[in-house]
Amino acid sequence: MSLSKPALRLLRTPTALKVTHRSYSTESAASKHWLSTTTARLGKCMFHGANPSEVRSASLALSDLATNWRGLLLGPEGFLGTTDAIGESASALIATGSLDNEVIERLHATGEGWAGIKRRKVAWGDQDCFGHVNNTRYLFYAETSRMNFFSRMAGLLERGTEERAMLEGVVEPGQKFGLIMKRGDVSYKLALRYPEYYSTFHRVLAVKKHSIELESLVLSETHKRPAARIFEDIVTFDYTANKKIEVPQWLRSTLEKVIRMQDEEAQFWKGRRSDVDELVQETEGCLRRKEL
């Protein structure tokens, strides 16, 4: 039995990752429902007779959807850390063979630790009298995620440098350099409830003269859908002089590196999503046969 090109790409051995620079885009109406629509398409095929090749395509698509659904859902937008959220340690997943070669290569390219919050259980006290997480709590989730995001970003700087110490120090009080939220806009998508789980991710949208535009996404692990998107405008601040300052060049360069990483992440997951789409189309061959 011969395998299709997308099937072969999912099974191939490790090779050097080649990615071209491409800008990621915001969530579109089509991509918003991609995961649920794709799963439903495969489910429909299960009610019809499939030949061995179609069964193979369905198996590969379902395996990718089961393991890498976070990357397939959020990766095309450039969010880093979607593989981190699979378990406590992505390294352990690699050792057990739970991740395929392409995802391992991508993880090695970005490194672990980019997920702001990994699979955390909703606290009962986060709910209000209406039985769902209070709207204000999403800002707290995003705040924790943002601090973890910048702490991870500090790892891109050389050890022992003043710049790395400054970026690592933004989570501690009494520091000279700080990052202050100027504005936060929340777009609510889905109400979280106890005892479900959620994860959070961040991405850099733009670097301006005095501030940094970020987007935080709170993901419902139960429903496999975004629960909220928080758009943040963060000012760089000098606590000694008690005033905002221009984004330092060292931080600007680091943020631009993160943006390039996001572009590469988006390119990779767009390709993986395209592979899954092709596998689903091959599986849907069972719906087009005359005997059906």
Report the candidate in 80, 43, 46 with the shortest Cα–Cα distance to residue 65: 43
Question: What does the pLDDT look like over 197-215, one tens digit per residue?
Answer: 999 999 999 999 999 999 9
Residue 54's contacts (CB-CB under 8 Å, 6 or more residues apart) are 45, 282, 283, 285, 286
pLDDT above 90: percentage of residues in the chain: 60
Question: What does the pLDDT look like over 220-234, one tens digit per residue?
Answer: 999 999 999 999 999
Query: What global pTM score does this model have?
Result: 0.83
Half-sphere exposure (CA, 13 Å, Cβ side) for 109?
23
Sign for the CA dihedral angle at 245, 248, 252, 255 comes to negative
Q: Are 133 and 197 in contact (CB under 8 A)?
A: no
DSSP H or E run through 197: strand 197-207
Alpha-carbon span 193 to 208, nearest angstrom = 36
Instruction: List the pLDDT tens digit at each of the 292 positions of the chain.
Output: 555 666 655 554 333 333 323 344 555 545 778 999 999 999 888 777 788 898 899 889 998 898 899 999 999 999 999 887 665 555 666 666 667 788 877 877 787 789 999 989 999 999 888 888 999 999 999 999 999 999 999 999 999 999 999 999 888 877 889 999 999 999 999 999 999 999 999 999 999 999 999 999 999 999 999 999 999 999 999 999 999 999 999 999 999 999 999 999 999 999 999 999 999 999 998 888 765 5
What 3-state DSSP class applies to 218?
strand
All structural domains of the chain, each given as residue ranges with its CATH number in brackets, are 5-288 (3.10.129.10)
Give yes or no for a cis peptide into 195 (omega within 30° of 0).
yes
Alpha-carbon span 147 to 179, nearest angstrom = 9
Beta bridge partner(s), residue 82: none
Question: What does the pLDDT look like over 126-174, one tens digit per residue?
Answer: 988 888 899 999 999 999 999 999 999 999 999 999 999 999 988 887 7
Q: How many residues belong to the chain?
A: 292
Which residue do the tokens 């936060």 mark?
A: 184
Alpha-carbon span 72 to 274, nearest angstrom = 10
